[in-house]
Structure 1
Amino acid sequence: MRPKQPIGQLKALFAEQVYPDQLGRYSRHKLAELAATHGTPTLIIDRDVLTEQYQSLQAALPGVNMRYAIKALPHPAVIEHLHHLGCGFDLATSGEIQRLQQLGIDAKQTIHTHPIKKDAEIRQAIDFGCRLFVVDNSHELAKFVPHKDRVELLLRVNFRHQDAVVDLSRKFGCELTHIPNLIEQAQQAGIRIVGLSFHVGSQVPAPVAHVNAIEQCIDVFNSLPQVDWRVLDIGGGFPIAYNGPALDIVDFCAPIHAALQQVDPDIELLAEPGRFIAGPSAIQLLSVVGKAQRGAHTWYYLDDGVYGTFSGMLYDHARYPITPLAQHDMTQGLKPSVLAGPTCDSIDVIADDMVLPDLAVGDYLVATQVGAYTLASATDFNLYPKAKVLCLNGQLMAQ
């Protein structure tokens, strides 16, 4: 059994888990009303936060055209709202194309970024109207020979970053040394290569990876002047702070913006933000459905877990801030606690060493920063339904 911790130490641990700046824009009373009205688990998407995140990134990277990575949070209301703001879209699958078609959004500001595709997927994207695609090897390049008069291609380059939380270059991207051969293959086949793309990985802690990648892409442009270079896609990877103070995206992007000033002004600049736009836009309301004392820890069983909205803990290596919705006395009753999901699987644990006040069955909790790679990868394991989704404007939940 673990030794009991002094109350002062427990209070400090509890304070580390609660970040008012991420919940302070909302009235806890109104959130409780929403939970009572709609039930739990309920995911609430805030359109105002979507606007703030999109506009702040656009301001931090002026001259870069945003293509929202639909996979992060493909909810129709999110896509419609970003389209209204003027954002374009990063497509990767036929399902994402169908989602845009269902919403009446055309292909004018889209790019298909999946480096590996079936021919049927290529044809569907072309029929939709998408003309810009990404490849990273000779086999994929050859798939575009039948479509060469209707498409333009970017070569995705591999720039690995050891500190990225999710290393996307482990799976995709060609080496810099392969570019001349791919260019030659494309020219012989009559396929138009018009640019380069890269993705330094998800949640990179500093902009140095983007800067290095941009500089090396510029070197490629200069070393192969016979190519009609017209596009540079700098991918995503713009981080958010899951725990602690919000990230200053202007400071993060300043070196990236400076590096982009060295790119030929005739080259169009694209980016593929997903997490940065979607992550902070959603909070989740949950309920305690069960409670048990197991050794030194109080176990609280919630109505959503890692098979649902918290799936990002497994697939995305994220840990989401979560706290009781009601205000509690911080001077007494703090206990080492475990938050578990509702399924019958023992892996379904959200947090196994939290410090919480004494909660009752029926009490509400709220998780923040749950917009990206959460609902998108949620399952119905054990046939538990996925969280209900509300899409609101922030003032409806404010003081």
Structure 2
Amino acid sequence: MKYPRLMVLLFITLLLLLLPAGALGSVRVDADLPGVAIFLDGDYIGSTPQNLSDVQPGEHQIAATVTGHQAQSRNLTFPVNGSDQILFTFGSSSQKYVPGMIRIRDCVGTPEMTGLLGSSITVATLPDGNLMAYYSGMGEGVRCAGSSDGSEWHEFPDGCLLPADEGSISSPFSSPWVFTTSDGGYRMIYGINDENGPSLYSARSKDGVRFTSEGKVTLSQVPDQDMKGQFSIPSGLRMTDGKLRMYYAVSDGAIRSAVSDDDGKTWASDEGNRIESATDPTVALLENTTYGLFYVDLSAGAKGQRLMLATSSDGLDFSHMVKEPILESEQKGVWILDPEVHKSSSGGWNLYYSLMGVPGEAGIRVPVIMRSVIDPGCLLSGISG
């Protein structure tokens, strides 16, 4: 016969089609910890336990993730005979990370741990209403996690943008800001700290999960404005005129901004600084189209200890500020970093931020991402001109 292998494959396919329902067998996927997220070939299918039966014949990868532990994966060939079981073993006790002592204002809810380990989080709402969190992993590139309402998160085992995607770029990169584009896709602006200092790069995605690097961000300079070529920690929003405004920190301890009218492909710098002695900006459009800029205070005696809010009517002049910190660390060696404000589908506001401990001074061994519910109207009542 001229094509014996092809005939065998056709015979096997036909045999599988003629098998009665349930003949392909099933696999139960479970774990020794609660709330373990399960992925089939990279797609999230739910938390343990899961029963796999309606799976296409062939090789498949089953992956499991739970915060605080390294992701695990197994290869499996369908069909299986009868029933089988996969048990992922992470250990009988999960790792504990004790957050530092934080003082909050009346407008801010009690801090809660998200279960995510990392920093520089940004949160986006997908077309199906689910949430995606993008954040800096511990030397693992940009990590991502999904959630239906922000209360529980499942990490994607392969992340969203890994160092291998950068080709010749070997330096760690982090601080992602993700936004939707006019064609229905997603763009990520993130930082790389290489031998020339911090710089911004961009990446694209069709589904908001798998990103491909585009290269270095083009940012034109205003005459006589010294950019020093060093900027990082990006965040921003789409303004009422459809343009994007990005806010970023520079190495001399200030927050600046830039505008794009082509979905973030190119950027034009705004003149001057938005706020002095500040870093880690995030911005949200609050009541009455007021721009609210949340940032970490770098003024004398407050470096990394206080999270502040300033407002603006045009997104440029942020001279109106809260009288007191929104959050303040009360524990030596604990820093408050990387705020992110996200409006939920129910209309409430969630404030995400990282707590990081100085080695030898605090019990936080790795950065932990926290969440507090905030009342923006209450916060605005404390603004002084």
Asked if these proteins are the same fold (TM beyond 0.5), I'd say no
The higher-RCO structure (CA 8 Å, 6+ apart) is 1
Structure whose residues are more often strand by fraction: 2
TM-score range (shorter-chain normalised) is under 0.3
Structure whose residues are more often helix by fraction: 1
What's the TM-score once normalised by structure 1's chain length? 0.24
